[in-house]
């Protein structure tokens, strides 16, 4: 079994997650985020992904000159999932109509606590930018081990527009 450097270690054919680091990875999505729908946003770091499902309506419309901060609890309102794959994964894995067979998911861990903080600013009367941050995120593996070595505070920014 092959494991990546500082991120994973292998022991007894089980994957042990030591570090989750996505701060320098670009935010991606399949369809443009909307203010009135659930939004799936993800980051891909070669053989790993971090998937954020934002609750419907959490991307608010702002007011010119003001900044609105919205909170969404994890896992209650929004969901954050960390996946490890058998090989490099691409945007197509998440966006294709017919799911790919490879790479396979080797491990998946759901966040058990924390907050998604969204700072919304109006660019003009119809366009908005949403800066997404994660706070106090807690992952617990299937073995009950808590993952504490994480660099995922700044999730990224998305834009929305009034249709």
Print pLDDT tens along the chain (163 aa): 333 333 344 444 455 666 787 888 999 999 999 988 999 999 999 999 999 999 999 998 878 888 899 999 999 999 999 999 999 999 999 999 887 888 999 989 999 999 999 999 999 989 999 999 999 888 888 878 787 667 677 899 999 998 7
* Tokens 């490890």 belong to residue: 84
- How many independent structural domains does the chain possess? 1
CA distance 147 to 143: 11
**pLDDT of res. 49:** 95
CB 46 within 8 A of CB 122: no
Determine, yes or no, domain membership for 3: no
Determine, yes or no, domain membership for 149: yes
Determine, yes or no, domain membership for 70: yes
CA distance 65 to 74: 29
**pLDDT of res. 16:** 64
Range of the domain at 29: 8-161
**pLDDT of res. 12:** 41
Q: 141, 126, 139, 147: which is closest to 35 by C-alpha?
A: 126
Cα separations (Å) of 134 from 43, 52, 92, 151? 13, 10, 25, 10
Determine, yes or no, domain membership for 157: yes
pTM across the whole model: 0.85
Cα separations (Å) of 127 from 39, 53, 62, 69, 160? 17, 22, 9, 16, 6
Determine, yes or no, domain membership for 60: yes
Determine, yes or no, domain membership for 85: yes
Determine, yes or no, domain membership for 1: no
Determine, yes or no, domain membership for 46: yes
């Amino acid at each position: 079994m092959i494991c990546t450097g500082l991120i994973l270690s292998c022991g007894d054919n089980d994957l042990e997650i030591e570090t989750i680091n996505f701060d320098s990875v670009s935010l991606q999505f399949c369809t443009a985020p909307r203010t009135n729908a659930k939004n799936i946003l993800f980051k891909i770091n070669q053989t790993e992904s971090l998937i954020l499902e934002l609750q419907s309506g959490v991307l608010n419309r702002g007011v010119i000159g003001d900044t609105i901060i919205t909170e969404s609890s994890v896992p209650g309102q929004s969901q954050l999932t960390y996946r490890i794959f058998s090989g490099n994964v691409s945007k197509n894995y998440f966006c294709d109509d017919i799911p790919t067979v490879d790479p396979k998911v080797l491990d998946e861990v759901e966040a058990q606590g924390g907050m998604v903080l969204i700072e919304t600013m109006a660019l003009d009367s119809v366009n908005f930018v949403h800066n997404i941050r994660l706070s106090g995120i807690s992952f617990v593996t299937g073995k009950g081990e808590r993952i504490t070595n994480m660099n995922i505070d700044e999730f990224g920014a998305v834009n929305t527009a009034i249709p």
